[in-house]
Amino acid sequence: MLLKLPTETISIQEIPIHKNVKLFMKREDLIHPQISGNKYWKLFYNINHYLERNPENPFVITFGGAFSNHISAVSAVGKLSGIPTLGLIRGEELQDKWRDNPTLLFAKRNGMNLKFITREEYRNKEKLAEFLTHEFPDALIIPEGGTNQEAVEGVKMMLNNKTKDFDYLCTAVGTGGTVAGISRFCEDNQKVIGFKAVDDSSLENKIRELTLKKNFDLIDSGFGGYGKIKDENIRFINDFKESYGIPLEPVYTGKMMQKVTELIDEGYFPENSRILCFHTGGLQGIEGANLLLEKQNRKLII
């Protein structure tokens, strides 16, 4: 079955911050509880072009970390479309502990086969992908985070007539496919800002190769590094949910929105700028984050 979800539910919601700029969020997180946000758009052509080729033994293989939103989404797509899936997961130590991890448990319940590989093997995943192509010639092998040219094409659908109305388009950055797609297909007068959740110096070149444009800036929203959650992040995410009714997760969207509001306070954006932030989903990650945080008497509101 082809991957096609109703996307009419996606709205652009104003965040009434009472500052000298206007701030909005595009709620891609509302597409689907499990295949949400940029994951849907990045997988859209990858999965559908593959299925249209009518593979004899459809099989999807991909890569990710223990709390990966991408792994979670691919497993859900596999279940929905009836395709067997294999997730190659970073960290062999998870072999005996995956049941304690809500993301991996969810993937497994969706029928995803999990194989745990060492960090060394994971670093060489391109080599592994080559090997798998020989082993499973019929399989679709999707890179980490789903980022490739087809993902970039899919992200084009996050843009429409309504998004043309903004001066700044903001998104969180992990593997770079989302910001590349927005940069490639937005209007010439729009400026794109990618908020980096990872400290990876190769990202800028990778994004440039995917977008072929120079209309984007990358800003570090690390707050201490990938996946690190500070008390100020928790306070921000919980206040945001309480004030505006929008849930954010701590790795990508929470840090992006916190950084955007800091930049607004610092006067980074010219007066009367219209700023649109894409809510890229990933809310499944909150449960796993809370399992770690609760041991320290901290908690994110879902």
Ligand X SMILES: Cc1ncc(COP(=O)(O)O)c(C=O)c1O
CB 86 within 8 A of CB 53: no
Using rule CB under 6 A, residue 87 touches ligand X? no
Instruction: Out of 65, 87, 174, 250, point to the residue binding ligand X (CB under 6 A).
Output: 174
CB 46 within 8 A of CB 73: no
Spatial distance between the Cα atoms of 183 and 245, rounded to a whole number of angstroms? 28
Spatial distance between the Cα atoms of 255 and 288, rounded to a whole number of angstroms? 17
Alpha helices in 117-202 (DSSP H): 119-123, 125-135, 149-155, 177-185
Spatial distance between the Cα atoms of 130 and 194, rounded to a whole number of angstroms? 30
Instruction: Out of 75, 85, 103, 175, point to the residue binding ligand X (CB under 6 A).
Output: 175
Instruction: Out of 172, 229, 263, 289, point to the residue binding ligand X (CB under 6 A).
Output: 172
CB 63 within 8 A of CB 144: yes
Residues from 136 through 155 that contact ligand X (CB under 6 A): 145, 147
Instruction: Out of 176, 247, 254, 288, point to the residue binding ligand X (CB under 6 A).
Output: 176
Q: How far is CA 190 from the centre of its chain?
A: 22
Residues from 47 through 86 that contact ligand X (CB under 6 A): 69-70
For ligand X, which is the closer residue by CB, 19 or 208?
208
Total site size for ligand X, rule CB under 6 A? 19
Residue 77's nearest CA partner among 56, 101, 50 is 50
Residues from 219 through 238 that contact ligand X (CB under 6 A): none
Using rule CB under 6 A, residue 211 touches ligand X? no
The nearest distance, CB 72 to ligand X, in angstroms, is 9
Is 273 assigned a catalytic role?
no
CB 1 within 8 A of CB 82: yes
Residue span 261-280 as binding mask against ligand X, x where in contact by CB under 6 A, dash where not: -------------------x
The nearest distance, CB 138 to ligand X, in angstroms, is 26
Residues engaged in binding ligand X (CB under 6 A): 37-38, 69-70, 145, 147, 172-179, 252-253, 280-282
